Amino acid sequence: MSMKVSPLISNVHFPPISEVKRWLIERPDDGREMIDLCQAVPDYAPAPDLTEHLARIVNDPQMSKYSPDEGLPEVREAVCDYYGRKYGAELLPDNVCLTIGASQAFWLAIVTLCHAGDEVVVQAPYYFDHPMALDILGIRGVYAPFVEADGGLPNPATIERLISARTRAILVVSPSNPTGAIAPPDTLHELFEVARRHNIALILDETYNEFIPGGLRPHELFGIPDWGDHFVQIASFGKTYALTGYRAGLLTASEQFIHHALKAQDTMAVCQPRITQHAVRYGVEHLDGWVSANRDMMTRRHDLFRAEFTRPGNPFHLAASGAFFAWIRHPFENCTGRQIARRLVDEAALLCLPGEVFGPGLEGYLRLAFGNIREEAIPEAVRRFREMMV
């Protein structure tokens, strides 16, 4: 008899990207190149001067040692300078904890705020790793519905109605993964005020904050007096500097919150790898122009896709898009997103994710990511959607 696993984890669905990529193994080879719109990973390499910098320092014996749990002081100081440019924020290094990707930053935030039986109000469609973590921890996700007419933007009034005595946080991702929708600063400020009224936290995941067209400031929340009383930010430099495998995340919060989060950090990971920390420092100190050029490239990809996809005659409907993603409604009645995503692999050599992994009742949608598709391939990708038989 095999050992039993926790019933909480046994009821969590398998990682969606791993599931979808397994379909490729079973697909007959028809000679067409698979167009990958599945995983949100930049298809370009890190900046050459960054990798050259790391090559010069990798043999330093210090590089293989632990750092302080929260990260090297000089790296966190450099991050604070970056936040000054990006947000106009006056952060201290004690407001920052460097983490193993944004996913670990999310775990730190949740285990610091919540225990089993608590609730978190989550805007749907959500990033699927978030409710997976909540379910594993025995924390109940309460989901604000996706409203297509609103383009996937969170509605503060709707979210406030879902708050109960057990609610510990509101969770929003902006720019959204999966819809790409970018919440306006005023909306994020309203959500902060909702959190403050109910003495809970606004957790804002800003993994894609450097892909807002024009490099606009995402919000002014760091300028609110005592912002850390009700605001916890999750961020990542993995997408920003094409360092996804380096796992370059961070948690930004009040000094008191970071103090408690470090108790969990020490038991989870101890610290972010030093090589990653030095990559982050080099990025925030030297690569603003490189980031801006890649942002413009991703904006062109998005704009071209949107223009091609919305021309008349496409049976698929663009429900929302922006930054790194498009959220589309498929035309097949009585079919799940998983069924249609599988058909797209087999019949159109297109790889994407089904809508239902992003929230209940979303079987009619698919998520597309622009990280893996170059501009010259976009017309062909859209043509394959248009030619799917309904």
pLDDT reading at 1 higher than 80: no
- Confidence (pLDDT) at 135: 94
- Confidence (pLDDT) at 41: 86
Average pLDDT, integer, range 46-60 = 96
Q: How are strands ordered across the β-sheet holding 365-369?
A: 317-322, 325-329, 365-369, 353-354
- Confidence (pLDDT) at 45: 94
* Closest to 121 measured CA to CA, from 93, 154, 149, 150: 154
pLDDT reading at 17 higher than 90: no
Q: Which of 287, 302, 335 corresponds to the end of one domain?
A: 287
Residues 232, 317, single domain; the answer is no
- Confidence (pLDDT) at 390: 65
Q: How many domains, the chain? A: 2
- Lowest-confidence region among 14-18, 127-131, 192-196: 14-18
With DSSP H G I counted as helix, E B as strand and the rest as coil, what are the percentages for the chain, rounded to 5? 45, 15, 40
Q: Which of 287, 314, 338 corresponds to the end of one domain?
A: 287
Residues 189, 274, single domain; the answer is yes
- According to DSSP, the β-strands at 350-351 and 35-36 are parallel
Beta bridge pairs of residue 36? 351
- The pLDDT tens digits for 226-274 are 999 999 999 999 999 999 999 999 999 999 999 999 999 999 999 999 9
| Cα–Cα dist 5/1, whole Å | 12
**DSSP state string for 111-163:** HHH--TT-EEEEESS--THHHHHHHHHTPEEEEEPP-GGGTT---HHHHHHT-
Beta bridge pairs of residue 140? 119
Contact between residue 31 and residue 57 where contact means Cβ atoms under 8 Å apart: no
- The pLDDT tens digits for 335-382 are 999 999 999 999 999 999 999 999 999 999 999 998 778 899 999 999
Residue 196 located in a structural domain? yes
For residue 85, the one-letter residue type is R
- Confidence (pLDDT) at 37: 92
Residue 302 burial (10 A CB sphere; 0-12, 13-18, 19+): buried
Beta bridge pairs of residue 231? 202
Q: Give, as one character, the DSSP assignment of residue 358.
A: G
* Closest to 296 measured CA to CA, from 215, 201, 367: 215
* CATH code of residue 337: 3.90.1150.10
- The pLDDT tens digits for 75-84 are 999 999 999 9
- Confidence (pLDDT) at 21: 85
Contact between residue 207 and residue 102 where contact means Cβ atoms under 8 Å apart: yes
pLDDT, greater one: 111 or 34: 111
Stated as kind and residue range, the H or E segment containing 283 is: helix 274-286
* CATH code of residue 254: 3.40.640.10
pLDDT reading at 32 higher than 90: no
pLDDT reading at 281 higher than 90: yes
Average pLDDT, integer, range 24-50 = 87
Q: Give the whole-number percent of the chain exceeding pLDDT 70.
A: 99
Average pLDDT, integer, range 300-317 = 94
Residue 252 located in a structural domain? yes
- Confidence (pLDDT) at 241: 97
pLDDT, greater one: 10 or 208: 208
- Confidence (pLDDT) at 286: 98
- According to DSSP, the β-strands at 201-205 and 231-236 are parallel
pLDDT, greater one: 61 or 323: 61
Residue 50 located in a structural domain? no
Residue 91 located in a structural domain? yes
Residues 356, 255, single domain; the answer is no
Average pLDDT, integer, range 136-164 = 95
Residues 128, 168, single domain; the answer is yes
Average pLDDT, integer, range 216-223 = 96
Residues 247, 316, single domain; the answer is no
Residues 180, 81, single domain; the answer is yes
**Domain membership of residue 216 as a residue range:** 60-287
Contact between residue 38 and residue 353 where contact means Cβ atoms under 8 Å apart: yes
Q: Give the whole-number percent of the chain exceeding pLDDT 90.
A: 85
Tokens of 21: 């990529």
Residue 187 located in a structural domain? yes
- Confidence (pLDDT) at 141: 97
Query: Residue 118: pLDDT band by 50, 70, 90 thresholds?
Result: very high
Tokens of 362: 């979303």
Contact between residue 133 and residue 107 where contact means Cβ atoms under 8 Å apart: yes
Mean residue pLDDT across the chain: 94
pTM of the predicted model as reported, rounded to 2 decimal places: 0.94
Residue 153 located in a structural domain? yes
pLDDT, greater one: 324 or 137: 137
Query: Residue 18: pLDDT band by 50, 70, 90 thresholds?
Result: confident
Q: How far apart are the first and last CA of the chain?
A: 47
Contact between residue 17 and residue 39 where contact means Cβ atoms under 8 Å apart: yes
- Cis omega before residue 312 (within 30°)? no
Q: Which of 245, 268, 287 corresponds to the end of one domain?
A: 287
Contact between residue 236 and residue 249 where contact means Cβ atoms under 8 Å apart: yes
3-state secondary structure of 197: helix
Residues 154, 298, single domain; the answer is no
